[in-house]
A and B are shown apart, each in its own frame.
Chain A
Amino acid sequence: MTTRVVPLKPSAPDVTSEKTTFRVRRRHLKIVLPIAVLCAVVAVAVFAPALAPFDPTAQHLSLRLRPPSWIKGGDPRFLLGTDHLGRDILSRLYYGARVSLPIALAATTTGALIGITLGLLSGYFRGIVDSIVTKLIDIQLSFPFILFAIAVIAISGPKLYMLVLVLAARSWTTFARVVRGETFVIGGNDYVVAARALGASQPRVIFRHILPNILPLAVVIGTLDIGALIILESTLSFLGLGVQPPTVSWGRELSEARQYIQLAWWTTTFPGLALLVVVLFVNLLGDGLRDILDPRLRAR
């Protein structure tokens, strides 16, 4: 696997001494590995039909619950073994990658749009808008969100767009809270005051002068949020409220495999490991991006 180095502007413009240069490069190293791993996952998702040895829904009923090929009793054709219907676990893992990441990305994007807009409005105009938005955030943070998600999906039926909307509903508060705080601070800066004094309209001030300064922060929050959303999606799928068969999803796999946990450890182990790896590297990427784009957040 070749590791691609994504060029990023150094965070400090005054990179002069040897020592600082080295530190900047080391910080960049922290995101190279996560990016490489996630690129590999995306590649697997995109090329799943070509990579997968079997159709993920193809059943081999005479070869049910076969252990991984390296274990006694394993079949060399099924590297990671088969599930309770004789489906190839490796192929299902490949196809599962096509579900978790796109759903989480769609949800984060929706949540970001709502959260950034409300955060900007409430931080810029303050007053009544601000009290409504902060109360909404408070209410949401004060309640076990998963209960709300379960209730909404159980009642509306497990549709894909509902899943994305529910995940977005979980995601917007993080954006709104941070963006609101930043807008407070940036709104008081001299250049914003100057822009207003020069007669810039309010939309212009918000979109041209404040928003660009908030975007790096939003990228960091978004990345850190994706990991949490992937876990939430898999949890809902695990409860049977997320992605529905025949679409393969790691969370759904785990809920089916659960009944065979006494007989076949591999069916519950591998989908979970796949989730763990993806979430882990998304989180690492978020941490790395935070260090590069917004060093102030590092302590948090």
Chain B
Amino acid sequence: MTRLTQRLFHFAIVILGVTTLVFIALRMTGDPALMLLPGDPTPEDIMLARQKLGVDQPWMTQYITFIGNAFRGNFGVSFQHGVDATGLVFERLPATAALAGSALLLAAAFAIPLGILAAVFRGTVIDLIVMVLAVIGQGVPFFWLGLMLILIFGVELRWFPTGGYGGWQHLILPSLTLAGYIAASTARLARSSMLEVLGRDYMRTARAKGLALHVVVLKHGLRNAAIPLITFLGLQMGLLLGGTVVVEEIFGWPGVGRLLLQAISYRDYPVVQAATFILAMIFVLVNILVDLIYTVLDPRIRDQR
């Protein structure tokens, strides 16, 4: 097996595991029929509703039907909205993608240069400031960061709207909040991977042959430090996708996360399953992409195949 097929196999198992977990968790308690029927339903009403929703079948049958349908992208009809669950999720996906994508870019754009600076100027005031910021950043609950941003830039200064969906102004605060969630750990990792690279012989050689510091750091250093960093950012996508649920709730951002929270409280099985499956797929696709980026960046991996 080549490395890539091995990875694909691994990801397939991960997706299967995740969907199974969600399937089990959703069925631990709670009857969606009871949630949906108004007033005081008769036992016959409940029976009918359960039949209609397909939750009267044994678990195993439900599971097999579910897995079969999942791979065709068919998660059934939303109990709550009466429309295709997958469609509902895809409708909300652009908002979540904009939020997670801009947060990832923001975090990378600020944290990586800061981490590199801290590594290059190790032991100086710059290093100290970056590390202190990182330590504080890791202690801040990110939903509180969101509230503080609303308070300062929304309520006091009135620079940005405090919530809702619309132009780029609406995106700034949520995406800063989400970026803050991963920025501190990204900066720390950028610093430590750069530090490791800086000690290498080829860096000394590059300096010795008279190249300027910034050329050496950016060309020789960053290319080598990028590999652990990109893996890390790929894995951070999991945190980001989870974080969007909370951030979307705080800022009233109409993405998959809010849809999912609502669906959970209504026990809207098809929507919960579609949303978790699609989020897990996105995470897996990002990590496959990361694997491909590696092979381009690192000839040692490229030539293995």
The interface size of chain B toward A, counting residues with CB under 8 Å, comes to: 54
A227-B184 Cα distance, complex, nearest whole Å? 14
- A239 touches which of B135, B138, B241, B246 (Cβ 8 Å): B246
Contact segment of A16-24, A198-206, A268-276: A268-276
Q: Which of A142, A239, A271, A284 contacts B280 (CB 8 A)?
A: A142
Least Cβ distance of A258 to chain B in Å?
6
Indicate whether B213 reaches chain A with its CB closer than 8 angstroms: no
* Interface set, chain A 174-190, CB cutoff 8 A to B: none
B200 shortest CB reach to chain A, Å: 15
The residue on A at minimum CB distance from B284 is A142
Choose, from A69-77, A146-154, A215-223, the stretch at the interface. A146-154
A1 contacts partner chain B, Cβ-Cβ < 8 Å: no
Contact B245 A299 (CB under 8 A): no
Contact B147 A268, beta carbon cutoff 8 Å: yes
Q: Are B192 and A258 in contact (CB under 8 A)?
A: no
A2 — which chain B residues lie within 8 A by C-beta?
none
Partner of A272, one of B148, B195, B239, B287: B148
Q: Does B121 contact A (CB under 8 A)?
A: no
Closest to A234 in B: B141
Are A258 and B22 interface neighbours, CB within 8 A? no
Q: How many angstroms from the CA of A76 to the CA of B155 in the assembled complex? A: 26
Say which residue of A147, A150, A277, A280 sits within 8 Å of B279 (CB atoms). A147
Assess the B144–A272 pair: CB atoms within 8 A: yes
Distance A258 CA – B143 CA, assembled complex (angstroms):
11
Q: Which of B14, B141, B143, B150 contacts A279 (CB 8 A)?
A: B141
A155 lies within 8 A of chain B by Cβ = yes
Contact B148 A147 (CB under 8 A): no
B238 at the A/B interface (Cβ < 8 Å)?
A: yes
A52–B246 CA distance with the chains assembled, in angstroms = 32
Residue from B11, B151, B265 within 8 A of A261 (CB atoms): B151
Closest chain-A Cβ to B250's Cβ sits at a distance in Å of: 8
CB of B66 to closest CB in A, whole Å: 15
Q: How far apart are A67's CB and chain B's nearest CB, in angstroms?
A: 14
> Are A276 and B246 closer than 8 Å at their CB atoms?
no
B144 adjacent to A143 (CB under 8 Å): no
Interface residues of B in 8-28 (CB under 8 A from A): 10-11, 13-14, 17-18, 21-22, 25-26, 28
Q: Is A261 a contact partner of B155 (Cβ separation < 8 A)? A: yes
Contacts of A133 on B, CB cut-off 8 Å? none
- Given A143-B280, A239-B246, CB of A148 within 8 Å of CB of B25: yes
B243 partner residues in chain A, CB cutoff 8 A? 144, 146
**Contact-residue bracket for chain A:** 35 or more
Complex CA–CA separation, A254 to B145 (angstroms): 11
Q: Which of B195, B242, B264, B272 is A144 in contact with, Cβ under 8 Å?
A: B242
Residues of A contacting B206 in the complex (Cβ-Cβ under 8 angstroms): none
Report how far A147 CA is from B22 CA in the complex, Å: 9
Cross-chain contact B138 with A283 (CB below 8 angstroms): yes
B276 on interface, CB distance cutoff 8 Å: yes
- What distance in Å separates the Cβ of A133 from its nearest Cβ neighbour in chain B? 13
- Would you call B155 and A262 a contact (CB within 8 A)? yes
Supposing A254-B147, A272-B144 touch, asked if A139 and B192 sit within 8 A by C-beta, the answer is no
Point out the residues of chain A lying under 8 angstroms from B10, CB to CB: 138
Task: Report B52 CB to chain A, min CB distance, Å.
Answer: 21
- Whether the pair A147, B155 counts as a contact (CB closer than 8 A) is no
Q: A235-B143, A268-B148, A272-B148 are in contact. Are A142 and B238 (CB under 8 A)?
A: yes
Q: List 20 A-B contacts (CB under 8 A).
A: A135-B13, A138-B13, A138-B14, A139-B14, A142-B14, A142-B283, A143-B21, A143-B238, A144-B279, A146-B245, A154-B265, A155-B28, A156-B28, A234-B141, A261-B147, A269-B148, A272-B148, A275-B144, A283-B138, A300-B192
Spell out A's residues near B (CB within 8 Å): 135, 138-139, 141-148, 150-152, 154-157, 227, 231, 234-235, 238-239, 251, 254, 258, 261-262, 265, 268-269, 271-272, 275-277, 279-280, 283-284, 287, 299-300
- Given contacts A258-B147, A283-B138, could you give 6 more A-B pairs where the C-beta distance is less than 8 Å? A135-B17, A144-B283, A151-B264, A151-B276, A239-B261, A299-B195
5 pairs of A and B residues whose beta carbons are closest in the complex? A144-B242, A280-B139, A272-B144, A139-B17, A146-B242
